[in-house]
Structure 1
Amino acid sequence: MLELRGVNTFYGQIQALRDVTLEIGEGEIITLIGANGAGKTTTLMSVSGVVPPKSGEILYRGKPIHTLSPDRIVALGLCQVPEGRLIFPELTVLENLDMGAFMRTDKDGVKRDLEYIFGLFPILAKRRRQAGGTLSGGEQQMLAISRALMARPRLLLLDEPSLGLAPLVIKQIFEIVQKINADGTTVFLVEQNANLALKIAHRGYVMENGRITLTDTGQALLANEDVKKAYLGL
């Protein structure tokens, strides 16, 4: 579904990604783990067109997208939930969700997806008239995911969804990610909570200093001694 081939991405003169090659099959949950500054967020930013690669290719369903603008990439069915949530704090929950669907013209489909969202996150239904900035951190993360889902993505890019959240909320978020995947959305998950991320992943990649250094199934990476020492605290 998605393939990165030898991607090199820079911020000015600083190289953030070095010859990154990875692939995501349709229907998978793929996790990218690594330390702070490893290049995980830059990988997502390159896929979504926010920080285009200097060289290499990014293919979506076999067609290059690395030269496209972010809005055209969203229109193809790729949508990113950014680190730190970045909801619109002054807008209500409903208005935030409407922003997620701004490129859509199928009003009936938007209405159905809104009901689907409220089924996933009943608390958002209760808060629908409330300003996004007044929600708790966990509720804001739910809203950020929901806003992306309103674009009806085929591939959902999630950047650190557990960041700053309480353990019970993190558990709920990860259960919802699995539910979204089971309902047909492919997921590319960047996450520092390697233990939880690998438990729900079909496959995983390990990134160090902008390079992919290891790839395997989620379960195999959980059992890998180097991964245990570096990322699982074991």
Structure 2
Amino acid sequence: MALLELKNVSTFYGNIHALKSISISVEEGEIVTLIGANGAGKTTTLMSICGITPVRSGEILLKGQNITKVSPNKIVQMGVSQVPEGRRIFPQLTVSENLDMGAFLRRDKEGIKRDMEEVFSIFPRLAERRNQLGGTLSGGEQQMLAISRALMANPHLLLLDEPSLGLAPLIVQSIFEIIQRINKERKTTILLVEQNANMALKIASKGYVLQNGVIKMADTAAHLLENEEVRKAYLGL
């Protein structure tokens, strides 16, 4: 049984048909990437999974349970956490306070303390800045904080929306290495939305190509990297 399944999901913004009967499967322990141009529907897919953007038709299953009509806070409690595009940290809160917000729905104080120390071991730069306001961090540090905040919810499934957006190449490399580390060390399943298709496909096991709200291609990441159409459209080759 897949950890996450989207079955013929359609989502609308008013009269705009944003997702058109898309089907996606994410197995436990995988990194799966969703690539496509701006406006393809990638963020809408993540928002639909989280319950923020209502699904008009189709089903979203988490561990076989239908979560299509479940509220966003319940979905978080069920083990799904999102790192939104643009980071969206709380700029007037310290690093530690941002992390506390990520654990808002949890009640296991010892687990929260343990996870915060684990986050600081993954991101030692944040440990050094734990009392610094989030808004004074660099772009790369804010992305690290956004990922860390999501991890504080102790998710089974982590949804990442454009984690490399606006970052310098060296920072991008570091972020992708950390994504792999989270997947391997924490055993966290990851659905990655990313415009840097080359980097995303290199760390993923499977990929989907989304175009105008339709899944145009689905294959192993290795095969998509070699696909001529993908190489021309998304890899700049």
Asked if Structure 1 and Structure 2 have the same fold, meaning a TM-score greater than 0.5 normalized by the shorter chain, the answer is yes
Gaps of 5+ in 1: none
1:108 is matched with 110
Identify the match of residue 25 of structure 1 among 27, 30, 50: 27
2:92 is matched with 90
2:134 is matched with 132
1:214 is matched with 217
Separation (CA, whole Å) in 2 of partners of 1:157 and 1:195: 19
Separation (CA, whole Å) in 2 of partners of 1:121 and 1:169: 13
Shift of 1:73: 0.2
Question: What's the secondary structure of 1:233's corresponding residue?
Answer: coil
2:77 is matched with 75
Question: What's the secondary structure of 1:98's corresponding residue?
Answer: helix
Separation (CA, whole Å) in 2 of partners of 1:143 and 1:130: 12
Separation (CA, whole Å) in 2 of partners of 1:20 and 1:28: 19
Identify the match of residue 62 of structure 2 among 28, 44, 60: 60
Correspondence 1:187 to 2:190:
yes
1:34 is matched with 36
Identify the match of residue 121 of structure 1 among 111, 120, 123: 123
2:159 is matched with 157
Shift of 1:14: 0.6
Separation (CA, whole Å) in 1 of partners of 2:68 and 2:165: 28
Amino acid at match of 1:13: N
Amino acid at match of 2:225: L
Runs (4+) off by over 2 Å: none
Question: What's the secondary structure of 1:54's corresponding residue?
Answer: strand
Query: How does the TM-score come out when normalised to structure 2?
Result: 0.98
Shift of 1:52: 1.6
Equivalent residues, number = 234
Separation (CA, whole Å) in 2 of partners of 1:52 and 1:120: 34
Gaps of 5+ in 2: none
Identify the match of residue 233 of structure 1 among 220, 233, 236: 236
Identity %: 67
Separation (CA, whole Å) in 1 of partners of 2:101 and 2:162: 21
CA RMSD of aligned residues (A): 0.4
Shift of 1:19: 0.5
Shift of 1:185: 0.1
Amino acid at match of 2:84: P
Amino acid at match of 1:103: L
Question: What's the secondary structure of 1:66's corresponding residue?
Answer: coil
Question: What's the secondary structure of 2:58's corresponding residue?
Answer: strand
2:175 is matched with 173
1:48 is matched with 50
Amino acid at match of 2:215: I
Residue by residue, what CA displacement relative to the aligned partner does 1:161-209 show, whole Å, maximum 9, x if unpaired?
0000000000000000000000200000000000000000000000000
Separation (CA, whole Å) in 2 of partners of 1:21 and 1:106: 35
Shift of 1:222: 0.4
Residue by residue, what CA displacement relative to the aligned partner does 1:89-132 show, whole Å, maximum 9, x if unpaired?
00000000000001111111111101110011000000000000
2:206 is matched with 203
Question: What's the secondary structure of 2:54's corresponding residue?
Answer: coil
Amino acid at match of 2:62: Y
